[in-house]
Amino acid sequence: MSAKKDMVPIKKILVKKEKKQFIKDLNREVVVSKGVKYYVTDLGEDFHTCYGTIDKKDLKKKDGSVVLSSMKKDFCMFSPCFTDSYRRINRLAQIIPIKDVGAIIAECGIGKKSVVLDAGAGSGGLALFLAYVAKSVFTYDVEKDHVNLVRKNIKLLGLGNIKVKEKDVYKGFDEKDADVVCLDLPAPWNAINAADSALKVAGYIVNYSPSITQTADFVNEVNKRENLVHLKTVEIIERKWEVEGRKVRPRTTSIGHSGFLSFVRKIK
C-alpha cells in the first residue's frame, strides 16, 4: 500500500490570487501572475514557495492576514475548513464525489442525532464526511489495507465519532437501530438483509453504484421486500461554468459520470 500524501493535518492555507491585466495591443485581458494555493503543515518552520519564503513568525498571524514572501509576493492566509482537509485524505479505492455526499446528507436528513452505517469503507470518502455531520458512524471493509488507511484518515481529520471495522457486511452489521445505512459495494443486493436488520423503522438505505446494472439488480431485490420502499434512483450531474465579466458560459469540458444513488426507506 502506498499513500500518496503525507499524513499531516493542514494548519494554514496560503493563497496568491491570479492577477489579470488588460493588454491594449492584444485587446484582451491576460494573466500576469498565476494563482496558487499552498498548504502549511508546520507553523514552526519557514515555508518555502516558488515565489519566495514566508517567515515562520508570519505563519502565526491571524486569519485574514496578508503575508509577504521574501520575493515580495502577497499571500492571503487563513485556517482550513473541514472540506479543505477532507480533500487531502489519502486514497486507495475511488472515493464518492462530494456532490453525491451532499445529496445523501440532505435526502436522509443526516444530522447530529444520526447513527450511520457505511460499507465498504474504501478510503473512507463517504464515512469521513458523514462523521463530520452525524452523531456516530460505523464503517466496514473486508480489506485490511483499506481499514488501515481509513484509520489514518480518521486521525488526519481528527474525528472522534467514527469506528472502522474489518468485516464482510454481506454477513451482517454489528449495530441495530441505525438511522441510515450507506452501501458502496460490488454486489449491494447481497447486503440488503444485513442493512434491513441493522436499520430502524423509518430509516434509509442509500445505495451508490457506478453502474446502472448494479443499480437495477439492487432495486429489483429491494422491490421484492414488503417492508422496504424504493423512493428514487438519481444521478447527480454537476456542470461547471466559467464566469468572466459578462462572458458566462458552461465549461467546454464534458460532464463526467460518478454513480447512481438509490434511496430506500424501511416502512415496517
Q: Which is nearer to ligand SAM, 54 or 126 (CB)?
A: 126
Binding-site member from 74, 168, 175, 196 for ligand SAM (CB under 6 A)? 168
122 belongs to the binding site for ligand SAM (CB under 6 A): yes
259 belongs to the binding site for ligand SAM (CB under 6 A): no
Phi, psi (rounded to 5 degrees) for 156: -55, -40
Contact 32, 19 (CB under 8 A): yes
Q: Which is nearer to ligand SAM, 185 or 199 (CB)?
A: 185
Q: Which is nearer to ligand SAM, 78 or 170 (CB)?
A: 170
- Rounded Cα–Cα distance for residues 92 and 19 (Å): 36
Binding-site member from 51, 54, 88, 125 for ligand SAM (CB under 6 A)? 125
93 belongs to the binding site for ligand SAM (CB under 6 A): yes
185 belongs to the binding site for ligand SAM (CB under 6 A): yes
**Sequence-ordered list of residues with C-beta below 8 angstroms from that of 106, at least 6 positions apart, any chain:** none
**C-alpha grid cell, residue 122:** 474504501
Binding-site member from 78, 82, 132, 170 for ligand SAM (CB under 6 A)? 170
120 belongs to the binding site for ligand SAM (CB under 6 A): yes
261 belongs to the binding site for ligand SAM (CB under 6 A): no
217 belongs to the binding site for ligand SAM (CB under 6 A): no
Q: From residue 59, give the alpha-carbon distance in Å to each of 31, 44, 224.
A: 27, 8, 59
Of 117, 244, 221, 209, residue with least CA distance to 172: 117
Q: From residue 201, give the alpha-carbon distance in Å to each of 110, 118, 264.
A: 15, 18, 12
**Sequence-ordered list of residues with C-beta below 8 angstroms from that of 75, at least 6 positions apart, any chain:** 14, 15, 16, 38, 49, 51, 54, 66, 67, 68, 69
Residue closest to ligand SAM, measured at CB: 120
* Site pattern 96..115 for ligand SAM (x: CB under 6 A): x-------------------
- What are the residues binding ligand SAM (CB under 6 A)? 93-96, 119-120, 122-126, 140-143, 146, 168-170, 184-186
